[in-house]
Structure 1
Amino acid sequence: MSFDGVFTHAMVTELNKLLIGGRISKIQQPFNNELVLIIRSNRVNYPLLLSANPTYSRMQITHVDFANPDRPSNFVMSLRKNIDGAIIKEITQVDNDRIVTMTLETKDELGYKVSFKLIIEIMGRYSNIILVNKDNQIVDLIKHVPSSKNRFRVLMPGENYVFPPSSNKKNPFKDFSDLDLIDLRSSFEGLAKDTAEEIKYRMNKSEIKRVAFRDFFNEIDSNISPNVVTKNSKMNFYPIKYSSVDGDVKEFSSLSEMLDDYYREKAQSDRIRSQAENLLSVVNGALKKDKNKLKRLKSDMTKTETMDQFRINGELLTTYMHEVKQGMSSVTLDNYYDNSKITIKINPKLTPNGNAQRYFKTYQKLKKSIIHINEQVAQTQEEIDYLDSVLYQISESRLDNLQEIKAELIAGGYISKKNLPKKRKPNKDMGNKFISTDGSLITVGRNNVQNDQLSLKTAKKSDIWLHVKNIPGSHVIISDNQPSEQTLNEAALLAAFYSKAKNSSKVEVDYVPIKQLKKPNGSKPGFVIYEGQKTLITTPDLQTVEQLKKNYLDS
């Protein structure tokens, strides 16, 4: 089921019971299109999520933890200025449309009561959250819509608020006339396809269709039973039991609890993708630049392959200087290195000795450049390897890890320091934890910063370190100085699974004691060198990974 008008009606009923008379104590905007209001009501804090996400637009009480952004948006600053501390007087739905109005009352700087309306339009890609004053003037909104995008409805600060065009359909909670069994959706407002099909199903089963129609909406009003139905891996949520739908049913105590469960993975993936886009753009841009640089360096390196010929030319001109006359453009001499004839180009404006010295200088310049080019090639390749590892980590990351990766990129100079996040408390949840079959703790770093922390600071010198060979991946630590062969094999499997080779077979994994790791001065986060390693060959397996994770959770 989508968040249609019927579901909106049920959610408004649920929110009214919890929030009326409550006070807005905190306003946050964790993501571009999502707002969280902490509402203190009856000595309980209720986090109210208002989402204008194009795919997951909704409103609900949420118990998902959101990190507070380092800098509040302009919209949040405007809300805090106008409605922080406001009392919620009323929450109403516009007919049976997906538009909800929260009437708020607060006091101005002089202590006089003033009212605002926070309007939540839950309409897919047209969703919006709009603050309107008592004169129906838009104070601010989460998405600005100028006249160039919508001539009928300009949604900009200072403009008068206009509701979306009316469908002129009946509100099914109030009007039961003209029931059309063929297409209920053309007559009644706010019915998603599956809702209309459920109503038809009930009406067809009943002798009195009007009664069946009315009973459906009475049940929405009086007997909410939130549930998620799964069939053939497809999930749908419903405010009451739908007789027309079959599958595995999971019941919940409230609509909000159900939505938290339903959207946990879907919305999280969307947020990660949204947050990761900017980071991916930065890293891919830097990678492209470095790969072009490496290409140029290798091209310069090919030029140095001819440097010995410049030295030979200089030596031959010096040896046969008596045969070289000023004004000549070339001269053919005996090459005593291979007993052949060689034609050497010379500058007619220079003396014979000047031409010889010109070749010697070119040779010395190329000889010196080799050292510099080799250093640049090594540094550029190291940076490419580092950025490849960051790309992998972004693709596998959780939201909290993305913030750590962003801080890492800022520290590395890839992102402007003006975007530097506020200092946070160290993440105590360092790495993913697993327990091997025979009881050893195995920890897997989630990003380069954690890799350094785990390998160089947290782990004991006698612990065992593992990493896939020559491929971006996580550092893996076995907290045991003499792990069994089974533990080594399981840790190697984890190292392969949490690497760019996770979909490969026969992956090579190196392992050494921590004491054999070294981190070169000035090297990138996550980069270490080692020697004396041994190598295992493994194939990543999701089922084994999940079992090792379960071992830790059950321990």
Structure 2
Amino acid sequence: MQFNYYFLRQLSGHLEHRLVNRRIQAIFSQNKDELIMIFEGDDPFLIKANLDNESSLLSFPESFARARKNSIDLFSQIHDLKVLNIKQFKNERSFSIRLENDFELLFKLHGRHANVILFREDTIDSLFKKSIEIDQSVKLSELDREIDQSDQRLIESEFELIKVYPTFDKHIKNHLKAEGFYDSNDHELKLKILHALLHQLNNPLYYITEVDGIPKLLLFQPKNYLQSFDDPIAASNFLARQFFTNHGLSKLKSKLLAQTKKEIKKSESYLNQTKAKLSEIKKRRGYDELANILMANLHVQVNPQAKEIELFDFYSSQQIKVKIKPNQSLQKNAESMYRKAKNQAKEVEILSQNISAKEKTLRELLKKQEVISSSKDIKSLKSLESSKKEGKNQLESPPFIEHHINGFQVFVGRNAKNNDLLTQKYARKDDLWLHAKDVSGSHVIIRNPKGISIPIFTIEKVAQIAAWHSKRKADTLCPVIYTPKKYVRKPKGSLPGQVLLSKEQVILVKPERISS
């Protein structure tokens, strides 16, 4: 309710006593939607306007430490000009600071659409928030609203308040309702209630309370309140402190906790999936043992068309069935299995490393959650927020389709522009880049932060994803190009998604949608 007309009318009157004959020393901004004005004098006077969509507030701090960076001067044409007077516009939530040289700085305080506009005479010179298009046509000469607010007019309008008192907001109407205004048909009683209300609005106390955890300024005494004031400047400062400390702390804490819990849940899910994958690999029969069994049974006659053969397992002294590739000798099948065993060992190593790294991350997240929950200092929370932004890995939460394949993080572009973003900005030189050959489709990246040799079985699975996200998704087989990202470049002036390769390999796979 700080931007209620009746409060602003009192506030602008107090500002006139404080500002007339002072000169503007500086006007600047160092945060989006925040404006700072400093008026010179033995005791400089400051106005701080926070005009964002959620917390539009005016406050008047005793001092303000201007940052050396990310600070920009505004309205330089009125620097060093003297304040002539303050004008409160009639029945309008706006006041202006009138200056020398026919300049006038309008504070148009319409809640979420609040703005500061500089005029020279009745012509707009510049605006603080240029995004509010309707403010481009504001005219100072049309802001005053002359309204007949006599008792006779009220009776003639049948006490339709919106016509006579358009400045009555819901808080004032709720007060009238509590006083029985809307329940009575007695004109004299209605006028009595209104007169008492107007007297209170002209001689108010200001109450700072909380509504749903959000600090509010009220003109009527609520059942519970934090503090009351008879000075609108002091009330504004207390409101701002409550909002930007207590409420700001609570809001930032909730935001950081929600983000951290989401990361914890994601880490726990990744650990569960990866541990299950590792357990499944360790439980199944190793390719090296199967290869040894084949080598021990080379004397056995094999049907060339057979896809499975029963052999003696010298590990268990029993007969077992082993799947083999048709039209290949047992020795060739054994050689293939030895290669798979090598890849399987590498996969186990990668999964184990990833589990260890993610467990460390989870411990850090749980510790961070505890720190956030117990924190009572907004500065420390803001430092946590900024460190999170600075330390955030670019590919931690990218705008791409994400998979986890055999312990590797895989990203798939969503469209041509997104492909460019993935390949040109997010991918690193040792990451493996894949794309269906000779057709349009998604760029696919296998993250390879340690620059290791990615197993061929992993490349095959990811190639299936690349084939699926291409024009060849319906084909029986699809050739897919793969190469380290360092061999991929984008020619100047090329269309979105177009790249050139200086080195490539091709793998033939069946297009398949694969879940992480």
TM-score normalised to the size of structure 2?
A: 0.60
- Does 2:378 match 1:403? no
- Does 2:241 match 1:264? yes
* CA deviation profile, 1:229-285 (whole Å, cap 9, x unmatched): 89999987566xx6x877779443621212222443334455457767987897678
Q: Retained in 2: the 8 A contact 1:326–1:351?
A: no
Structure 1 residue matching 2:153: 3-state secondary structure: coil
- Does 2:85 match 1:90? yes
User: Which one-letter code corresponds to 1:11 in the other structure?
Assistant: L
Structure 2 residue matching 1:321: 3-state secondary structure: coil
> Residue in 2 aligned with 1:35?
35
Mapped to 1, the partners of 2:195 and 2:77 lie a distance apart of 42
> Residue in 1 aligned with 2:95?
100
Mapped to 1, the partners of 2:212 and 2:270 lie a distance apart of 50
> How far did 1:98 drift?
0.8
Q: Retained in 2: the 8 A contact 1:276–1:394?
A: yes
- Does 2:343 match 1:365? yes
> How far did 1:191 drift?
3.1
> Residue in 2 aligned with 1:178?
153
> Residue in 2 aligned with 1:52?
51
> Residue in 2 aligned with 1:552?
none
List aligned pairs for 1:187-226, cutoff 5 A.
187-192=164-169, 195=172, 226=206
> Residue in 1 aligned with 2:300?
323
Structure 2 residue matching 1:62: 3-state secondary structure: coil
Mapped to 2, the partners of 1:186 and 1:133 lie a distance apart of 32
Structure 1 residue matching 2:167: 3-state secondary structure: coil
Residue of structure 2 aligned with 1:337, choices 315, 327, 342: 315
User: Which one-letter code corresponds to 2:282 in the other structure?
Assistant: E
> Residue in 1 aligned with 2:278?
301
Structure 1 residue matching 2:40: 3-state secondary structure: strand
Structure 2 residue matching 1:21: 3-state secondary structure: coil
> Residue in 1 aligned with 2:117?
130
Mapped to 2, the partners of 1:249 and 1:286 lie a distance apart of 37
Mapped to 2, the partners of 1:322 and 1:307 lie a distance apart of 26
> How far did 1:361 drift?
2.9
Residue of structure 1 aligned with 2:128, choices 141, 145, 161: 141
CA-based RMSD of the aligned residues comes to 4.8
Mapped to 2, the partners of 1:116 and 1:402 lie a distance apart of 42
Mapped to 1, the partners of 2:380 and 2:69 lie a distance apart of 15
Mapped to 2, the partners of 1:347 and 1:69 lie a distance apart of 71
Mapped to 1, the partners of 2:360 and 2:99 lie a distance apart of 57
User: Which one-letter code corresponds to 1:347 in the other structure?
Assistant: K
Q: Retained in 2: the 8 A contact 1:25–1:84?
A: yes
List aligned pairs for 1:434-445, cutoff 5 A.
none
Mapped to 1, the partners of 2:83 and 2:222 lie a distance apart of 37
Q: 1:227 to 1:397 in 2, by over 3 A?
A: closer
Q: Retained in 2: the 8 A contact 1:133–1:139?
A: no
User: Which one-letter code corresponds to 1:261 in the other structure?
Assistant: F
> Residue in 1 aligned with 2:465?
none
> Residue in 2 aligned with 1:62?
61
Mapped to 1, the partners of 2:394 and 2:342 lie a distance apart of 39
> How far did 1:413 drift?
3.6
Identity of aligned residues (%): 15
User: Which one-letter code corresponds to 2:24 in the other structure?
Assistant: I
Q: Retained in 1: the 8 A contact 2:215–2:243?
A: no
> Residue in 1 aligned with 2:291?
314
> How far did 1:8 drift?
0.9
User: Which one-letter code corresponds to 2:153 in the other structure?
Assistant: D
User: Which one-letter code corresponds to 1:26 in the other structure?
Assistant: A
Q: Retained in 2: the 8 A contact 1:282–1:414?
A: no
> Residue in 2 aligned with 1:428?
none
Mapped to 2, the partners of 1:48 and 1:225 lie a distance apart of 22
User: Which one-letter code corresponds to 2:11 in the other structure?
Assistant: M
Q: 1:412 to 1:86 in 2, by over 3 A?
A: same
User: Which one-letter code corresponds to 2:388 in the other structure?
Assistant: L
Structure 2 residue matching 1:322: 3-state secondary structure: coil
Unaligned runs of 5+ in 1: 106-113, 147-152, 417-555
Q: Retained in 2: the 8 A contact 1:101–1:119?
A: yes
- Does 2:34 match 1:25? no
Q: Retained in 2: the 8 A contact 1:307–1:367?
A: no
- Does 2:332 match 1:351? no
User: Which one-letter code corresponds to 2:87 in the other structure?
Assistant: T
Mapped to 2, the partners of 1:343 and 1:213 lie a distance apart of 95
